Amino acid sequence: MVPCRRLQLNLFLATSLFMFGCSHAPSNDKHPSQAMSADTNSRLAKVAQPYVDSHPELTGFYPLADGQEAFLARLALIHSADNSIDLQYYIYRDDATSSLLTYALYKAAERGVRVRVLLDDMQSRDDAVMASLSSHPNIEVRLFNPFRQRVSRALGFIGDFDRLNRRMHNKALIVDGTFGIAGGRNIGDEYFSANGEVDFGDFDLLMLGNIIPQLSLEFDTYWNSKPASPIEDLVDNYAPVSQAQLDKWEAMLQQAIETQSPYVAQLSELPLAKKIQDKSLSFYWGEAELHYDPPEKIYQSANSDLLLHELDAILSQTQSELFLVSPYFVPTRKGTNALTRAANKGITLTIITNSLASNDVFAVHGWYAKYRKSLLEANIRLYEVKADRLHKRERSWLGSSRNSLHAKTFIIDKQDVFVGSFNFDPRSAYLNTEMGVLVQSPAFADDVYQGIEQHMPQFTYRLELNESGEIVWFDDATGKQYSTEPDASMWLRIAAWFSGILPIENLL
């Protein structure tokens, strides 16, 4: 194999010191496998051990609120792996940051690391390329709930809509059974602050300790489930990665690095990188539980084990205050009534979601807008994220460039924090599989709460009802107010309104 020293020097050096078509019917002839136990001799285990010894039975977590730090953390974990990498995502783009991560996975496999990649099959990818990657003796690729029609996916929905409309929305990375990352981010430039057009402000956690076996069990459950199909079952002809492909891949990545040179140069200057280099990285610690849907949810949603029901039980324990962040917020009439009852009992409710201009799915906004007035009448605090490019702050999980909120979290009584993939909408509740981590840490909860509150005037509009009972948007940073959806064109407002009268709420 041709050495790739220039590529590594340009990008991986700073992070290597991290602490740590036809129609196919998927077959069930696959070999089950389980997560590898943590090896105390691995590099990451040696770094983690002092932390874990000082906090037995607890979970340590470092918040990844910045897109660049989130990319750095993933890349560094993969580059530091000695034994195993398990990766599970809904979206995995074919762009600069995604390609760099894929190359790091390949390099890990080359040095003997077992790599398992589980991707939802909604995103169209090159099957032959994925199969070539999976042909490596140390790499397995499986697709969750795959389309049987590989050439024209749209045709697959005909006659099979109910199944294909249900997707795996889970997001997790576990390395050497020692460190893990989970939260709201997919894999792609827009999630790692590397896209000049739009930045999905997101939030996930770098974790170690008691939560890791739980993450591994979740991955194994999905990996060995019936809906997870080996990529080889879906492809007719494929060949192992050739030297010509590797040379082309390296050239493409080198070009990506040169294109993203300012971005790459900033990685070693990030606060996370500096804390790693001077060994000053500290974690929050607390009890943590992983909650997730069973993979069989895609076949039948009427299941008592749904994450929705677990979250309902958790939220019902709120005593005084609930702070909810959800980019795609469609509370439904039933949910709106429940929130109203909670507010009437004296619970302070704050909801942050996307504005029409910042929402990348206007149909979602059209149905959310139907419930805004009822929420405001119940004295629920309602905020919508600004999309204005001028409202930009470096390393903000509320986004930059064209802002679009993608983080999914809630805070209960400034004590507990939930971080995961679950949107408060019918799709997350009944169609997609979801997961998330509930952390019991008053210190972390207070820091997250204060951080959001501090920046809300700059990054959100505050909604209220005027004397006539109409919604008004207040920009507390500028003192301006608006009587219609801010920053949204007339045509966008019309499209959202029209979506709100279509019978599609249960699909959103």
Catalytic residue among 79, 365, 386, 408: 408
Enter the tokens of residue 498.
């029209």
DSSP state letters, 96-154: HHHHHHHHHHHHHHHTT-EEEEEEESSS---HHHHHHHHTSTTEEEEEES--SB-S-HH
Strand 84-89 to 114-120 pairing: parallel
Catalytic (active site) residue 29 = no
- Would you say 355 and 384 are in contact if contact means Cβ atoms under 8 Å apart? yes
Taking Cα atoms as reference points, which of 317, 271, 364, 292 lies closest to residue 88? 292
Catalytic (active site) residue 480 = no
- Would you say 421 and 434 are in contact if contact means Cβ atoms under 8 Å apart? yes
Tally of CB atoms within 10 A around 40: 10
Catalytic residue among 406, 425, 475, 487: 406
Catalytic residue among 220, 413, 446, 447: 413
Catalytic (active site) residue 171 = yes
Q: How crowded is the C-beta side of 44, counted as CA atoms within 13 Å?
A: 28
Catalytic residue among 79, 107, 171, 291: 171
What CA–CA distance (Å, rounded) separates 115 from 106?
Answer: 8
- Would you say 22 and 144 are in contact if contact means Cβ atoms under 8 Å apart? no
Catalytic residue among 79, 107, 169, 386: 169
Whole-angstrom CA distances from 449 to 325, 383, 409, 468 are 11, 14, 11, 32
Catalytic (active site) residue 248 = no
Using the structure block, give the residue that is written with the tokens 């504005």. 355
Catalytic residue among 66, 121, 176, 202: 176
What is the H or E stretch that residue 204 is in?
Answer: strand 204-209
What CA–CA distance (Å, rounded) separates 302 from 236?
Answer: 36
Whole-angstrom CA distances from 171 to 62, 276, 289, 490 are 17, 24, 16, 36
DSSP state letters, 429-460: IIISB-EEEEEE-HHHHHHHHHHHHHHHHHHE
Catalytic (active site) residue 55 = no
Catalytic (active site) residue 169 = yes
What's the burial of 452, exposed, middle or buried (CB within 10 Å: 0-12/13-18/19+)?
buried
What is the H or E stretch that residue 357 is in?
Answer: none
Which residues carry out catalysis?
169, 171, 176, 406, 408, 413
